[in-house]
Amino acid sequence: MISEEQVRHVANLARLGLSDEEVARMGGQLDAILESIEKIQELDLENVPPTANPLRLTNVFRPDEPRPELDRDDALSAAPETSDDLFSVPRID
Protein backbone atom coordinates (compact mmCIF):
# COMPACT_ATOMS: atom_id res chain seq x y z
CA MET A 1 0.00 0.00 0.00
CA ILE A 2 1.26 3.42 -0.91
CA SER A 3 1.06 5.73 2.08
CA GLU A 4 -0.55 9.14 2.16
CA GLU A 5 2.84 10.55 2.95
CA GLN A 6 4.34 8.99 -0.19
CA VAL A 7 1.55 10.43 -2.31
CA ARG A 8 2.19 13.90 -0.90
CA HIS A 9 5.92 13.51 -1.46
CA VAL A 10 5.50 12.50 -5.09
CA ALA A 11 2.96 15.27 -5.65
CA ASN A 12 5.36 17.77 -4.18
CA LEU A 13 8.19 16.58 -6.43
CA ALA A 14 5.89 17.05 -9.42
CA ARG A 15 4.82 20.45 -8.06
CA LEU A 16 1.19 19.34 -7.82
CA GLY A 17 -1.04 20.75 -5.12
CA LEU A 18 -3.47 18.03 -4.05
CA SER A 19 -6.44 18.39 -1.73
CA ASP A 20 -6.88 15.76 1.03
CA GLU A 21 -9.65 14.18 -1.02
CA GLU A 22 -7.32 14.01 -4.06
CA VAL A 23 -4.51 12.51 -2.00
CA ALA A 24 -6.82 9.65 -0.99
CA ARG A 25 -8.08 9.14 -4.54
CA MET A 26 -4.60 9.28 -6.11
CA GLY A 27 -3.32 6.87 -3.49
CA GLY A 28 -5.89 4.32 -4.59
CA GLN A 29 -5.11 4.86 -8.26
CA LEU A 30 -1.35 4.61 -7.76
CA ASP A 31 -1.88 1.40 -5.80
CA ALA A 32 -3.81 -0.06 -8.71
CA ILE A 33 -0.99 0.83 -11.12
CA LEU A 34 1.67 -0.64 -8.85
CA GLU A 35 -0.38 -3.80 -8.45
CA SER A 36 -0.65 -4.37 -12.17
CA ILE A 37 3.05 -3.74 -12.65
CA GLU A 38 3.79 -6.18 -9.86
CA LYS A 39 2.39 -8.90 -12.06
CA ILE A 40 5.69 -8.80 -13.93
CA GLN A 41 7.44 -9.90 -10.76
CA GLU A 42 5.76 -13.29 -11.10
CA LEU A 43 8.04 -14.01 -14.04
CA ASP A 44 11.61 -15.22 -13.76
CA LEU A 45 13.58 -12.15 -14.89
CA GLU A 46 16.94 -13.21 -13.54
CA ASN A 47 18.79 -12.91 -16.85
CA VAL A 48 16.71 -10.25 -18.55
CA PRO A 49 18.35 -6.83 -18.71
CA PRO A 50 16.06 -3.88 -17.92
CA THR A 51 14.57 -2.55 -21.14
CA ALA A 52 14.23 1.19 -21.48
CA ASN A 53 13.31 1.18 -25.12
CA PRO A 54 11.67 -1.43 -27.34
CA LEU A 55 13.76 -0.49 -30.39
CA ARG A 56 16.61 -2.86 -31.07
CA LEU A 57 18.88 -0.04 -32.15
CA THR A 58 22.02 1.45 -30.67
CA ASN A 59 24.39 4.32 -31.53
CA VAL A 60 21.93 6.59 -33.26
CA PHE A 61 23.85 9.81 -33.78
CA ARG A 62 23.71 13.04 -35.70
CA PRO A 63 26.84 14.71 -37.10
CA ASP A 64 28.15 17.78 -35.28
CA GLU A 65 26.83 20.18 -37.91
CA PRO A 66 24.78 23.31 -37.16
CA ARG A 67 21.13 23.21 -38.15
CA PRO A 68 18.67 26.06 -38.53
CA GLU A 69 17.86 27.80 -35.28
CA LEU A 70 14.75 29.63 -34.17
CA ASP A 71 14.41 33.31 -34.78
CA ARG A 72 14.64 34.95 -31.36
CA ASP A 73 11.21 36.52 -31.56
CA ASP A 74 9.73 33.15 -32.39
CA ALA A 75 11.61 31.52 -29.53
CA LEU A 76 10.36 34.13 -27.09
CA SER A 77 6.81 34.17 -28.45
CA ALA A 78 5.84 31.06 -26.49
CA ALA A 79 6.86 32.62 -23.17
CA PRO A 80 4.23 34.20 -20.91
CA GLU A 81 6.67 36.95 -20.04
CA THR A 82 9.89 38.25 -21.54
CA SER A 83 12.24 41.10 -20.83
CA ASP A 84 15.30 42.41 -22.68
CA ASP A 85 15.33 39.45 -25.12
CA LEU A 86 15.31 37.08 -22.17
CA PHE A 87 12.72 34.71 -20.77
CA SER A 88 11.31 36.17 -17.59
CA VAL A 89 10.41 33.74 -14.81
CA PRO A 90 9.19 34.13 -11.23
CA ARG A 91 11.74 34.50 -8.48
CA ILE A 92 13.56 31.33 -7.46
CA ASP A 93 13.63 30.45 -3.77
Partner 1 sequence: MAETKEKQTYQAVIGLEFHVHLATKTKMFCGCRVAYGDSPNTHTCPVCLGHPGALPVLNEKAIELGAMAGIALNCEVASHAVFARKNYFYPDLPKGYQISQFDEPICVGGHIDVPTSDGTVRVGITRLHLEEDAAKNVHVGESGRMHGSTGSLVDFNRGGTPLMEIVTEPDIPTPEAARATANQLKSILQAIGVSEADMEKGQLRCDANVSIRNPDGSFGVKTELKNMNSFRFVEKGIAAELSRQQEIIEDGGRIEQATMHYDPATDEVYSLRSKEEAHDYRYFPEPDLLPLELSTEWIEEKKARLPELPAEMKSRFVESYDLSEYDAGVLTADRDLASFYEEVAKSADAKQSANWISGDLRALLNEEGIEISDSKVEPKDMAELISLIENETVSRSAAKAVLAKVFETGDSPSVVVEKEGLAQTGSGELDGVIEGVIADNPDEAERVRDGDKKVVGFLVGQVMKATRGNADGGRARELLMEKLGS
Binding site for partner 1 (CB under 8 A): 9, 12-13, 15, 50, 52-53, 55, 57-70, 72, 75-76, 78, 81, 83-92
Backbone angles phi, psi at 83, to 5 degrees: -160, 130
Kindly state the smallest distance separating residue 10's Cβ from partner 1, in Å.
Answer: 9
Q: Which is nearer to partner 1, 21 or 40 (CB)?
A: 40
Kindly state the smallest distance separating residue 9's Cβ from partner 1, in Å.
Answer: 8
Do residues 7 and 30 lie in contact, with contact meaning Cβ atoms separated by under 8 Å?
Answer: yes
Q: Which residues pair with 83 in a beta bridge?
A: 86
Backbone angles phi, psi at 10, to 5 degrees: -65, -40
Kindly state the smallest distance separating residue 66's Cβ from partner 1, in Å.
Answer: 5
Q: Which residues contact 45 (CB under 8 A, 6 or more apart)?
A: none
Q: Which is nearer to partner 1, 44 or 64 (CB)?
A: 64
